[in-house]
């Protein structure tokens, strides 16, 4: 018995050989630095945006409150968190396969043999009782179980990184929906003011028409402008309602938005983003991290497929006590044991093992391509965000200048029309240009803010590295 235990210990030490291919991170398919031509922002910071928490980036208290509600109630984020727990459990199951299974069993039987079947010709009653401690252990001499455990661990870590990516996407989606809602509310207000101005103009033209000063054409033009403004007002009412519905869905619960003030888009809603980070920081983005863990999982599965070509050794044994009488079950001399090692050597399987190995290697190659594609997508997201960061500032400023000019044009045109210098057509043109400039400024400012939010998302902001590192601790089986 001692010799058997020593053999088990030696075999346990020998187990754990790995056939997983040595992992080398694929070469980055993007440049080492961001583009630096005139369309891109000046590199002026070494701060990592992913160290910037969403509470520090989004300065609007109303938006902060809505993001907090979404993080607590959004169903997509909840599903991602449950997926993490599911993969954690799967890893625990696979890790447990490395250790022996130990069972304790007890059984008892009572049997009556009739006279006709009894060797003695008399009816007999007998029993048999046993208490057994059993052990079953598959020796992982060629690393199959270790490879499967490593694969399960990488899939768990990938799910955790995916959860962080979902969180960042949710924060950005809530912010973008909020900004769109605020922009449409502002456009609705602009349209209402314009409609009021058109109606005043129509009243003035109607009076002029009644006394024979204004023509039918001018009256028709004024009425056309009023109806166009009313149509636009109905459109923005619909958009505002749809924006509320989209925002409510992201929040994950029915939240009253009536108390959310329309502060406009000109106030300081967002903090300044650090610009000028090396592109190697993309490797810390949660979606890139998840893609690399999936690649590592595929790499580990190759080790399991390779190990399947080699013999599988399983050790089973039991020790316990047996007796014909329950009262004598643990008496001296009732002990017994057995030891049953077994080995299974694959000889012929119609190419199944080879096909499985080919499949795992192809899957690894697919994961490499997906990993490289994720990096390329991330680089483009950041590059687009950087050029938007630079050019939207100039575009919004130019639109503000245009709005100032349009307001002066409208003021002059209105004065000249009221004094009879210019026709109503000139006033109508000034009103339309002013409305267009106001609408375009709101849209440009909204797009500028959304581009900043998307850059924040592209740089991996929205979660703290310390918190993520703590959450990434390898779970216990």
321 beta partners: 131, 335
DSSP 136-171: EEEE-TTSHHHHHHHHHHHHHHHHHHHHHHHHHHHH
Q: Structure tokens of 401?
A: 């200048």
At residue 175 the predicted structure's pLDDT band, cuts being 50, 70 and 90, is very high
C-alpha distances (whole Å) from 67 to each of 166, 168, 261, 273 are 13, 11, 16, 19
Q: What is the pLDDT of residue 116?
A: 73
Element (DSSP H or E) covering residue 459: none
| Closest C-alpha to 371, from 456, 454, 282 | 282
Q: Are 71 and 86 in contact (CB under 8 A)?
A: no
Label residue 284 by pLDDT band (50, 70, 90). Answer: confident
**Position with higher pLDDT, 282 vs 399:** 399
Residue 362: which residues within 8 A CB-CB, separation 6 or more? none
First to last CA, the chain: 31
Our CA dihedral for 358, 363, 366, 371, rounded to 10 degrees, sits at -140
Q: Which residues pair with 157 in a beta bridge?
A: none
Distances (CA, A) of 206 to 66, 217, 221, 229, 471: 48, 11, 11, 18, 71
User: Quick one: which H or E segment has residue 471?
Assistant: helix 465-471
225 has a pLDDT exceeding 60: yes
5, pLDDT greater than 90: no
Residue 349 has a pLDDT of 86
CA–CA dist 242, 36 (Å, integer): 39
| Alpha helices for 330-423 (secondary structure H) | 352-418
Q: Which of 64, 91, 261 is nearest to 160 (CA)?
A: 91
Average pLDDT over residues 260-266: 74
- Among 125-134, 275-284, 407-416, name the most confident range: 407-416
Q: How far is CA 392 from CA 19, 53, 266, 450, in A?
A: 53, 24, 14, 11
Better-scored residue on pLDDT, 39 or 149:
149
For residue 139, report the phi and psi dihedrals to the nearest 5 degrees: -75, 125
Ranked by mean pLDDT, the top range of 61-65, 234-238, 409-413 is 234-238
Q: State the Cα–Cα distance between residues 187 and 182, nearest whole angstrom.
A: 9
* HSE-up (13 A, CA, CB side) for residue 277: 26
Q: Which two tokens stand for residue 44?
A: 């002026």
CA angle, 308 then 314 then 319, to 5°: 170
pLDDT above 80 for 43: no
Beta bridge partners of 10: none
SS3 for 305?
helix
279 and 32 Cβ atoms separated by less than 8 Å: yes
pTM value is 0.83
One-character DSSP codes across 80-93: HHHHHHHHHHHHHH
Asked if residue 146 has pLDDT above 60, the reply is: yes
Q: Tell me the mean pLDDT in the region 416-421.
A: 82
User: Tens digits of per-residue pLDDT, 314-330?
Assistant: 989 998 888 887 777 78
> pLDDT averaged over the chain?
85
| pLDDT above 90: residue 279 | no
- DSSP result, 170-220: HHHHHHHHHHHHHHHHHHHHHHHHHHHHHHHHHHHHHHHHHTT-S-HHHHH
Res. 461 pLDDT band, cuts 50 70 90: confident
Looking at the chain, the whole-number percentage of residues with pLDDT higher than 70 is 88
Taking residues 153-181, what's their average pLDDT?
94
In this predicted model, what pLDDT tens digit does every residue of 55-80 receive, in sequence order? Answer: 888 988 889 999 999 999 999 999 99
CATH code given to domain 19-97+142-314+352-471: 1.20.1600.10
Length of the chain: 477
Residues pairing with 314 in the sheet: 138, 342
């Amino acid at each position: 018995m001692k010799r058997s235990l020593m053999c088990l210990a030696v075999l346990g030490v020998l187990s754990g050989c790995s056939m997983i291919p040595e992992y080398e991170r694929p070469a980055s398919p993007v440049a080492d630095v961001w583009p630096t031509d005139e369309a891109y922002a000046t590199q002026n910071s070494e701060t990592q945006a992913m160290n910037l928490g969403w509470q520090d980036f989004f300065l609007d208290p109303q938006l902060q409150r809505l993001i907090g509600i979404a993080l607590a109630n959004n169903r997509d984020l909840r599903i991602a968190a449950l997926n993490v727990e599911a993969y954690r459990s799967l890893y625990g199951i696979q890790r447990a396969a490395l250790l022996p299974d130990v069972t304790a069993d007890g059984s008892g039987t009572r049997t009556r043999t009739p006279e006709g079947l009894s060797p003695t010709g008399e009816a007999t009653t007998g029993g048999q009782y046993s208490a057994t401690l059993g052990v079953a252990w598959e020796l992982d001499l060629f690393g199959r179980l270790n490879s499967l455990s490593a694969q399960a661990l990488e899939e768990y870590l990938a799910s955790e990184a995916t959860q962080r990516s979902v969180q960042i996407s949710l924060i950005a989606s809530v912010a973008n929906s909020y900004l769109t809602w605020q922009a449409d509310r502002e456009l609705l207000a602009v349209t209402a003011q314009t409609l009021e101005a058109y109606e005043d103009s129509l009243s003035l033209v109607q009076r002029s028409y009644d006394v024979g000063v204004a023509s039918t054409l001018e009256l028709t033009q004024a009425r056309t402008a009023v109806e166009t403004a009313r149509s636009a007002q109905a459109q923005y009412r619909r958009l505002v309602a749809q924006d509320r519905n989209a925002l409510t869905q992201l929040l994950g619960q029915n939240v009253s938005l009536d108390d959310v003030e329309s502060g406009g888009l000109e106030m300081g809603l967002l903090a300044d983003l650090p610009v000028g980070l090396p592109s190697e920081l993309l490797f810390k983005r949660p979606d890139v991290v998840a893609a690399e863990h999936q690649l590592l999982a595929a790499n580990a599965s190759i080790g399991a497929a390779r190990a399947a070509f080699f013999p599988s050794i399983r050790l089973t044994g039991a020790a316990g006590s047996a007796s014909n009488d329950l009262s004598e079950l643990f008496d001296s001399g009732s002990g017994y044991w057995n030891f049953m090692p077994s080995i299974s050597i694959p000889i012929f399987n119609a190419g199944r093992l080879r096909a499985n190995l080919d499949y795992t290697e192809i899957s690894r190659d697919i994961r490499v391509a997906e990993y490289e594609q994720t990096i390329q997508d991330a680089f483009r997201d950041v590059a687009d965000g950087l050029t938007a960061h630079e050019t939207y500032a100039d575009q919004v400023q130019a639109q503000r200048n245009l709005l100032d000019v349009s307001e002066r044009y409208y003021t002059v045109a209105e004065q000249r029309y009221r004094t009879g210098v210019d026709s109503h057509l000139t006033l109508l043109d000034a009103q339309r240009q002013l409305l267009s400039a106001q609408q375009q400024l709101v849209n440009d400012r909204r797009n500028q803010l959304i581009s900043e939010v998307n850059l924040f998302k592209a740089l991996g902001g929205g979660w703290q590295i310390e918190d993520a590192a703590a959450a990434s601790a390898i779970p216990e089986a």
